[in-house]
A and B are shown apart, each in its own frame.
Chain A
């Protein structure tokens, strides 16, 4: 069966070979589907984290007041708002949810909760928690898993780069160096893969329209 993708399907009966070809084509189309905004969550969280890191360190360097750490609570709020607004679908746009979507969602839910609990503990108590080490390690694990599950190499590489970078936060004590390292980590695991993903999905969308 050599029907083009957009040829309307009807109610006619098929022969065995046509049926198998149709099954194969429908499964492949859905499997190769790439959301038009697939790279946006990476970019939203990546750029927001860089912005909050710069804001926190600038404020801390200027005032030497640790209470600026409360600023970090704005990050999940802005991230949630950004995700809600940016990924809102038009009612006329079709949507599909795969098992991989659910797995990725659950991975980030668990890691997000863990990161939030660690941040709360670090800011609201006097416990000395190596927060940057733990956050970069957790987020690195999340990106590596995402990349492996989705077979998206830039995210896998970025994740493992962060896992490798994380112990440096236990060694480096300088605030500016920590901030720079934190920005490098989020650039490697979120900003670069996010731009690559956006480029790929735009290219696929263009090919689809040709």
Chain B
């Protein structure tokens, strides 16, 4: 029997962001944009959705005089990601 896939993670860009953040302590907005190739606007919207769901934490600060946004996965995000991967396995089997 197929498990239901979390719709929030079942989107290419949001899943890519979560996959990056699952393996690191933190990554900044520029790094996420470099790795995903997404536009700043689209990435920003998707990060906001993940943050509102409590999957990631976003810290806004500065590097020198330039604003810098740092993202980290939360415990809720880790659990959701693990559940998502488990659900995916049921489709692959």
Contact = CB atoms under 8 A, between A and B. Distances in A.
Nearest to A88: B64
Contact of B16 (A9, A15, A20): A9
A11 interface: yes
Interface in A78-111: 89, 91-99, 101-102
Interface residues of A, number: 36
Contacts of B47: none
Nearest to B42: A11
B53 to A, nearest CB: 15
B12 A95 contact: no
A77 interface: no
A64 interface: no
B38 A27 contact: no
Interface string A4-40: 0111111111111111101101110111000000000
Interface string B41-69: 01000100000000000000001111010
Given A31-B23, A93-B30, 7 more contacts: A9-B12, A11-B14, A16-B5, A92-B30, A94-B34, A96-B31, A97-B26
B33 to A, nearest CB: 7
B10 A19 contact: yes
B83 interface: no
Nearest to B12: A9
A15 B10 CA distance: 9
Contacts of B13: 9-11
| 5 nearest CB pairs, A to B | A94-B31, A91-B66, A16-B91, A26-B19, A94-B30
A140 to B, nearest CB: 27
A30 B66 CA distance: 24
A96 B12 contact: no
